[in-house]
Structure formats: C-alpha cells, structure tokens
Structure 1
C-alpha cells in the first residue's frame, strides 16, 4: 500500500455502506418504473436518475475493492419482478422520486460533513448535487402538472419585530386564543404532510402485494400511521384556515402482484420511518408553540416502535444486512 494512502475512517465506511444500500434499492425501483412509464418526460427523469445512481454504485464498489473490503449485497435484480402489473398509477414515479430526493439530499449532505478523505468528500458532494438535481426535475414537473401543492402564500413582512409575551410559546392556555402558526411552523407541517401523502400510497400498495402475512399487517400499520400524521398535523393548518396539501395523483392501483421482494419493501419502509422520526425531531426543535412541539413528540413516540418492529421482522427473515463492525476488543478483557 502507498505510504501516503489514508485508510477509510469508520464513519466513511459506514456512510458508504449506507449509501450503497439506498442506491441499490433505488435502482430496483427505477428498473420497475422504467418498464411501465408512458410519459416521455418522466422517462427522461427516470433514465438520468438511473444512470447517475448506477455510476455512484460502481464508484462505491471500486472504493471498497481498493480498500480490500467486501462489497455489500444491497439489493439485486432478485428483488424486483419484471412483467407484473403497475402497482401505482398516474404520476406516482416523479412523486416517489420527489420524496426520495428529500431523503437523499439530507443524508448525503450529512455524510459529506462526516467525511475526511478528499475522494470521499467529493463523492458525497456529487451525491448531494445529484439529489438536488433530482428534486429540481421532479418538483418542476409536478408543479407544471398541477400535482404538487405549494405551501400557502402569506403577506410579506414589512417590519422587524421581537417576541414580547411569553405566551407566544404557549399552545395550552385555555384562557386565551392560540397565536397563529408562524412561517417556519407552517413550512415544517407542510413538509411532513407532503411526505406522508406519498408514503401512505406506498404503504397501501405494499400491503396489497406483500407475500408474508406479518409483513402485510406491518404495511397496513404503516398506512394507518401515515394517515394519522397527515390528519393530526393537517388540523393545525385548518385551525388557521389553511387547507392542508392533497393530490389527486399517485394512487395505488388494485394490483395484488408484488413487483418487489418483501425484503426490499421492508427496507424502504424502515428508511421512510427513520426519515419521519428525523423530520418530526426537526419540526419539534424549530416549533415555538408548545402544543405543536408536544404533538410532534407524540407522533415520534408512535413511529419509533413501528421502526423497531420492522427491524425485528427483517432480522427474523434474514433480510437485514449487518453494517461493518469494529473488532470486539471487549473479548480481550474476559478470562
């Protein structure tokens, strides 16, 4: 080995491993979508995303090979079934990628700040740029089609003001009316509802086609949980006479034939659950109304056991690939 060669750190290995899992999962979805896509513009978005994702997977493979590390299994062609009916209808493909781009942009930007070797920093910088490009393409397409609902407009602020009353933080005072949501709180609520609308249709579709009974029941639970998040947070907007986001597109069809393995469907459900926990934590951290903060925390308390249960199902069936592990030096202390 070159004396100037800097080995990968534990964080770099872990994040490359995570990126490989997510990207190989995405490739399987894209293969399925490309088989059924009819709209030419959507096809171009899917193809460009597939090409860039495939290139990233090969780059990660090369890094692991150069470091003498085993290449993860991730998700393969065995996890997607060709020639089956469409599971999702009109415009779901860009809606799905719109959601995935939000997850990727957040994850890969974080991974880039946890990387120290120059080539790894550059790789995650490219991954972040790819995710942002995917978001731009999908958002613009969905806006042009009238499918993506913008957050509510508001009057532009004309002066600077400071909070003078501690009741600004309260949402539980029964003797006075709650203040209206501020722009930051509205944006976080809108973001959470938008993600759960797409996720709910994914859960409905998965519940229809899952092979294992317990897995099917798990997706039904995920469907109900997404609905609860959407309706609970939507009520905060309605109290301020703001209509929550909704869309007529991207519904699950009535197909009962699985396009994906139960393993793949469980993985992405776990990923979405983890993303939802992070979103609620962010929403709680930046919400200044105490009732909204408590609601975000309560929803998180319901999502956490859901994600844990999913992990246990994956372990039971041998679907959870184990991340790279450090040497267990604790054994050296045992006699």
Structure 2
C-alpha cells in the first residue's frame, strides 16, 4: 500500500485525528443501532461499516510506518443495554450533522496530503461522507423532519451594490435591508446545526456522572440556544421563520450509554466545527451587523471550548497527538 515515501507530519496528524473521530462515531452508532428501527438501521449500519474500514486502514498505515496505534474510543466508552437516550429520528439527525463535520474535515485533509495512498484515502472518505449526508438529508426530508431553507424568487436582472449603506445593513431609505441569500443560507445552516447540538447536550447532561462535565454540558445547551435565538432574530426581521423540528428530542433517561470522556470529546469536536462555521459566516456576510453578532458569539464559543479543554485535561481524557521531536536539548 505504501510508496516507500515516509508520511509527513500533516499526514500523520490528519490520520491520527481521523482515528479519534471515527472510533468515537463507532461508539455512538453502536448505541443508536441497538435501538433503531429497520429503516434507520440501514443508514446507520452503512456508516458504521465505512467507519470500521477506515479505522482498519489507518491501523495498517501506522503499522507499516512503525507508529503506535492510538487508543481513541473503545468498547469501554459505550454501555450496551443502556436505555434509548434520544427519541424519534435523532439518530439520523445526528448522522446528518456529523457528516457535515466529516465533509469539512476530510476535504481539508485531502489538500494536506501528499502521498498518493493517503490522499486517495481522504478522497474516498470525503466521497463517503458526502454520500451519507445526501442519503440522510433525503431520508429526513421524506419523513418531514428536516426543514428546507426558504424558497425565493429567481433573480431576473443583475444588480451591483451602489452605496456603502449596503454593508451597514440599511438600504438607501435608511431602512434595515433584507438579508441576501448568502446570509440566509449561512444563518440557516448555523441554526440547524445548533438545534441538533442542543438536544445532544441535553441528553449528555442528563447522564453525565462527573459534576463538572454535567455543568459544562448544561452551559453548552444554553449556548446553543443563545446562538439559535440570536441568529434566528436576523431571519425574523426579514420575515423568515427560523428552522425548527418536532423530532429528535432527548428522552428522560438518566442512564449513560456513553463515557463522560466520549461525551466531552464529541462536544469539543462540534464546538470546533461551530467556530469554523462562525468564521465562514462572518467572512461572507455583507451586512456589518451580522459579522458583529457572530464575533460576540465566537468569543462565547471560544471560551466554552477552552473551559472544556481544561476539564478534559484535568480528568486525563485528552490523548496527546504525535509530537515533533524536541531539539531544545541540542541547543543547551
């Protein structure tokens, strides 16, 4: 499989991060599959099988390179037989959200891979996550669970911005201008993701055994709600209803199907993804009030991420990534 060319630091890092994420996904899916209906189980099992193959591929590369196999997340991080933690359709909503994360990660990793076999590996993972996201999207739409972004009239003419008021968020009459389609799409995406993330953390908080973890997850739940409310207000001012769904709620179970370590890692991963999405929204918005709001939210998200890291370090839950050789001794 190898070409005789050693793997680079970026390739090693990206394989290592993928191993962490994929082993976590396996544990989550094991709980979901245990309680899934037949229709849902088919999608979940497909993603489970793909993740298992990816993990085996990474193990083989590490063995060939003489690298230690990471621990990641094991059978100790999932409790078989635990009651269902989330109700109707949450498992597919979670899959839909996580494949968005995976599409972003793996396409980025493709551009950071130079050895052909590793580049091909991430190209394949990108395609798998895209296909799974497409399937989960169509599944949720057919079940009436996923809300489409608003439909708009098709443009008939090309216009250019004529006044700097466009950037300030106001039109030539001094009235707050309506959002453009780019801004609506970014807001819709952020709200959709946070709605699922909020329910995820509600369930996690109910079953966490560590009090610090429980308090932290409650903070995450409230932060997701704040993001949803603040960004939703931009849509409401343009007479657009924010996305919402009747499905995918946390149950009342107090019995943990996952370890606190796994729940904290999953929260950390989604928080990092949220920061990236927030930056994207700020970069492409042409209304100054929207990036300003996102900057305030980014500060809250960043603080939340930092506090989570401290909890994970305190409990010994962060596996250290591969380290560059320390050359400082040579300079002494």
| Common fold by TM > 0.5 | yes
What is the CA-CA distance between 1:143 and the residue it aligns to? 0.1
Counterpart-to-counterpart distance in 2, 1:71 and 1:166 = 55
Alpha-carbon distance in structure 2 between the residues aligned to 1:309 and 1:301? 12
CA drift at 1:331: 2.6
Structure 1 CA distance for aligned equivalents of residues 89 and 137 of structure 2 = 12
Report the CA distance between 1:175 and its aligned residue: 8.1
Look up the match of 1:169: 167
* Number of the residue aligned with 1:107: 105
Whole-angstrom CA distance in 1 between matches of 2:269 and 2:64: 29
The Cα of 1:159 is off from its aligned counterpart by 1.1
Counterpart CA distance in 1 for 2:109 and 2:69 is: 19
Q: Does 1:133 align with 2:160?
A: no
Alignment of 1:262-301 (within 5 A): 262-301=260-299
State the alpha-carbon separation in 1 of the partners of residues 253 and 76 from structure 2.
Answer: 20
* Cα distance in 1 between the residues matched to 2:285 and 2:32: 37
Cα offset, 1:177, TM superposition: 1.1
Shift of 1:173: 9.3
What is the match of residue 30 of structure 2? 31
**Residues 143-188 of structure 1: per-residue CA shift (max 9 Å, x gap):** 0001000000000011111111111000379981121100000000
Whether the 8 Å contact between 1:149 and 1:245 is mirrored in structure 2 is: yes
Per-residue CA distance 1:109-147 (angstroms, 9 max, x = gap): 000000000000000001001100110111000000010
Contact 2:184 2:235 in 1 (8 A): yes
TM-score with structure 1 length normalisation?
0.97
Residue in 1 that maps onto 2:90: 92
Q: Does 1:8 align with 2:7?
A: yes
The unaligned stretches of length 5 or more in structure 1 are: none
CA RMSD of the aligned region, Å? 1.5
CA distance in 2, matches of 1:253, 1:133: 29
Aligned residues of 1:172 and 1:290 also touching (Cα < 8 A): no
Give yes or no for the alignment of 1:201 onto 2:190.
no
Please list every run of at least 4 consecutive aligned residues from structure 1 whose deviation after the TM superposition is greater than 2 angstroms.
171-175
Residue-pair matches, total: 332
The aligned counterpart of 2:226 is 228
1:165 to 1:256, Cα distance in 2 relative to 1, 3 A: same
Q: Match for residue 60 of structure 2?
A: 62
Aligned with residue 80 of structure 1, among 78, 81, 101: 78
Residue of structure 2 equivalent to 1:327: 325
Unaligned ranges ≥5, structure 2: none
Alpha-carbon distance in 1 for matches of 2:306, 2:170: 31
Aligned residue number for residue 43 of structure 1? 41
Shift in Å at residue 330 of structure 1?
2.0
- The residue that corresponds to 1:18 in the other structure is 17
1: CA distance between counterparts of 2:215 and 2:197?
16
Q: Given the alignment, which residue of 207, 210, 217 partners 2:208?
A: 210
Q: Distance in 1 between matches of 2:61 and 2:279?
A: 33
TM value normalised by structure 2: 0.98
Q: Distance in 2 between matches of 1:188 and 1:330?
A: 45
